[in-house]
Structure 1
Amino acid sequence: MTSLDVLEFGLTTNHQSIEIKSHFTPSGLLFATLSTKAPDFDDYFTGLEDLINKVDFSKLPHRRSISYEGKFNWKTMYRHTLPSQSKCGMSSFRTCPSTKPGVARMEFDYYHAGTDEEFEKYYKFVRQVALEDFELCERAQMNLESGVYGEGILF
């Protein structure tokens, strides 16, 4: 993919084309927004590109993807939609709204440059962390619905 390819993608909704702002890093990561009002990449993520360019993410082969639904509002985890890197591997996930009220879909992609055995060890660890996050989301949603705490950003 070249930076020219990235500049040409967009979204169509209600038969209208919407430009999607994007930034493709030399290290192989694509950042995109759904709002043309979003700040420029360099303004919002000052210094990030210098940090992430230390790793060539395009050299990490895709190893596995999974997706499942959870009983929580997608906004419980949306701010944590990001790549997570560790030795020889990277995982990324996103939390998406669904058409069902109170249900969100979590999607995970796993990349790893090691052997199959090394990948399975890495995968076992990152899945455990992801399942703990998933459980926290469902319990936070239950607490919100039962009035244990009010709406707002959870820290």
Structure 2
Amino acid sequence: MLPVELYRGEDALRRDREAVLRRSWQFVGHVQMLAGAGDYIADVVGGAPVVVVRKTDGELSAFHNVCRHRAGALVADGQGNCGEAFTCRYHGWRYALDGRLRSAVDFGKAAGFDPRQYGLFPIRVETWRGLVFVNLDLAAEPLSDLVAPLAARWPEDQSALPLVEKRTHQIACNWKTYVENYLEGYHIERVHPEFDSDVVVAEYRTEVVGEVVFAAAPPRDASVYGGVWGWLWPNLGVNVYRHGYMMERMTALGPSMTRLDYFYFYKPERKAELVDMLKFSDLVTAQDLQVCEEVQRNLEVGVYQGGVLSPKHEVGVAWFQDRIAERLGLPTPPKLTAVA
């Protein structure tokens, strides 16, 4: 198990953001949200404000959402359209959509000031099946490497499905506490008893392929699930249904606070089915929130100093903890070995 100290405190959050979240591909939305020139998505990745924009040539570019003058924000968090240029909300400096400084408004003449040296700080942006990802690490491996295992298990390209619902929840726990809950089905029988009506919980299994953790359980005849549950390192869940899919982003807001953003892409003609599924999803989320908050409370008391992981049910959790340790420069956590 990872040291308990990694699940609490500002220092643990800082290390996660610097070593993990800012050096990984992070989902921020869909190209549907960036339909026209000047359309942008502004979000926070690993504590760093970022913005993705559609340029006039139709391509996407992405930057830190920070003006080069005195660190003002270019745009407010959320979605919008900035026209042909970003205009800093603080002092009005204007930037082309490719990041070049167009105008330091009424700055005055200054010896040695070269506007060409004050373009926006770039970040990586790539798309896969309409899904938009950013990475603050300019030397990161391509997004295609990360999603390759998911593409193999999910051959149907559903990028044309509309975004029909977006829901957000906050949970009082460390982001890793929630991720680890997501990566195992050991708790389902007790925490989510209703789940067995959709899938055969007794046959729930997890498998790690590349940097994707897959979960699978045979669906019941009336189930809406399409048989693919995936999780992409380090904080993105993917649920594939028979008539759509959902992306679940897990964002660290603080040492003991996480935001869950659910993006539902679904066939409009199956609206009634979606309504029922959303009710079930809300129930499952509420159940997970309760147990994760209870776990976090106990992690912060100081009595619990580590346990053991099941080699049968918690393979994904063990892999996740190994990757966290690797990124933080820590020894690989000890674990039990399965026996026949």
- Shorter-chain TM-score bucket reads 0.7 to 0.9
Aligned counterpart in structure 2 of residue 105 of structure 1, from 253, 259, 262:
259
CA distance in 2 between partners of 1:20 and 1:133 (Å): 34
SS in 1 for 2:165: strand
Partner of 1:132: 287
Q: Is the 8 A contact 1:29 1:57 kept in 2?
A: no
CA distance in 2 between partners of 1:129 and 1:85 (Å): 16
Aligned counterpart in structure 1 of residue 125 of structure 2, from 22, 29, 32:
22
CA distance in 2 between partners of 1:69 and 1:29 (Å): 23
* Per-residue deviation, 1:117: 1.0
Partner of 2:64: 11
Q: Does 1:60 align with 2:158?
A: no
- How well do the aligned residues superpose, as a CA RMSD in angstroms? 3.2
* Per-residue deviation, 1:51: 4.4
Is the helix fraction higher in 1 or 2? Answer: 1
Q: Does 1:123 align with 2:278?
A: yes
CA distance in 2 between partners of 1:34 and 1:12 (Å): 12
CA distance in 2 between partners of 1:77 and 1:106 (Å): 10
Identity %: 23
Q: Which amino acid aligns with 1:110?
A: Y
Aligned residue-pair number: 150
Q: Which amino acid aligns with 2:133?
A: F
CA deviations 1:24-70 (Å, max 9, x no partner) are 12x32223223224222233444444544x32333222222222322
Aligned counterpart in structure 1 of residue 133 of structure 2, from 12, 31, 35:
31
CA distance in 2 between partners of 1:12 and 1:116 (Å): 36
CA distance in 1 between partners of 2:293 and 2:153 (Å): 33
Structure possessing the higher radius of gyration over alpha carbons: 2
SS in 1 for 2:136: coil
Q: Is the 8 A contact 1:93 1:108 kept in 2?
A: yes
Detail structure 1 runs of 4+ shifted over 3 Å in the superposition: 1-4, 13-18, 42-52, 77-80
Partner of 2:245: 90
CA distance in 2 between partners of 1:51 and 1:103 (Å): 32
CA deviations 1:72-92 (Å, max 9, x no partner) are 123333534232211112222
SS in 2 for 1:59: coil
Provide the TM-score with structure 1 as the length reference: 0.73
Partner of 2:334: none
